[in-house]
Amino acid sequence: MAPSPSDPQMSFAFLAIMSGLCAVIYPFLTSLTWSRSLVKTLAIAPLAVWSHMIGFPVLAAGLALSAIGDLALSRPGDRAFLIGMLSFAAAHLIYAWIFYAGGLVPLGGWQSLALVPVIGVALWLGPVFAAKAGALVLPVFVYVGIIGVMGATAVMQPMGAGQVIALIGALLFMASDAILGQEKFLNRHWPGQGLAIWGLYYAAQVALFVGFVWIG
């Protein structure tokens, strides 16, 4: 039985357990069924509900869009993949806005140097993936550019504990997407690839959730 809404601590525990269990179960589901899609969606959706409950509606929107993206990417076909990519692109724009709204440090410090590899990776992977994307060439270019902007704003935050956690989340997200792009567009496969994509992705979303809430 679900906890009563009048007991927020129990509600948060319920959401955390649901998210964690679905995240653990999902890699073991290999058939393209709606049950598998539901489990994948419910790994992130509880974090969106949690964010809304504690007064972070913008973060909740980003997480909700991510959950929609998970649902779409769990379905077969290029149309579903495009819907998922667009949902995640919108989520990344929201995350970038949260980073930006928290204030960015001026250019010229050590963080400006850290921008080089982040932007460099985006400029490198965009053309590499787009060249193999077929009809998805333009969406892939746009998506890689957007996640690059999200990574750049994460790097340029004033650094505190919450900001570091959120930065780790942004970098893990970029790593997960890079491996996914390698699998999807370059047709390169290696043992544990799917688990790496999912593990990095889920850790990224949790880190972004914790970091943004910590920052307040």
The per-residue pLDDT for range 164-183, each reduced to its tens digit, is: 999 999 999 999 999 999 99
pLDDT in tens, 76-122: 988 999 999 999 999 999 999 999 999 988 887 778 888 888 889 88
What's the whole-number mean pLDDT along residues 127-152? 92
What is the torsion angle, in degrees rounded to the nearest 10, for the CA atoms of residue 112, residue 209, residue 91 and residue 98?
Answer: -50
User: Which amino acid appears at position 21 of this protein?
Assistant: L
Structure tokens at 24: 């653990």
Domain boundaries, the chain: 8-215
Q: What is the band of 6 on the pLDDT scale with cuts at 50, 70, 90?
A: low
**Chain centroid offset of residue 125 CA:** 17
Local confidence band at 198 (pLDDT 50, 70, 90 cut-offs):
very high
Say if residue 187's pLDDT is above 70. Answer: yes
* Torsion, CA 132, CA 138, CA 144, CA 145, rounded to 10: 140
Q: Which of 78, 81, 44 is CA-nearest to residue 64?
A: 44
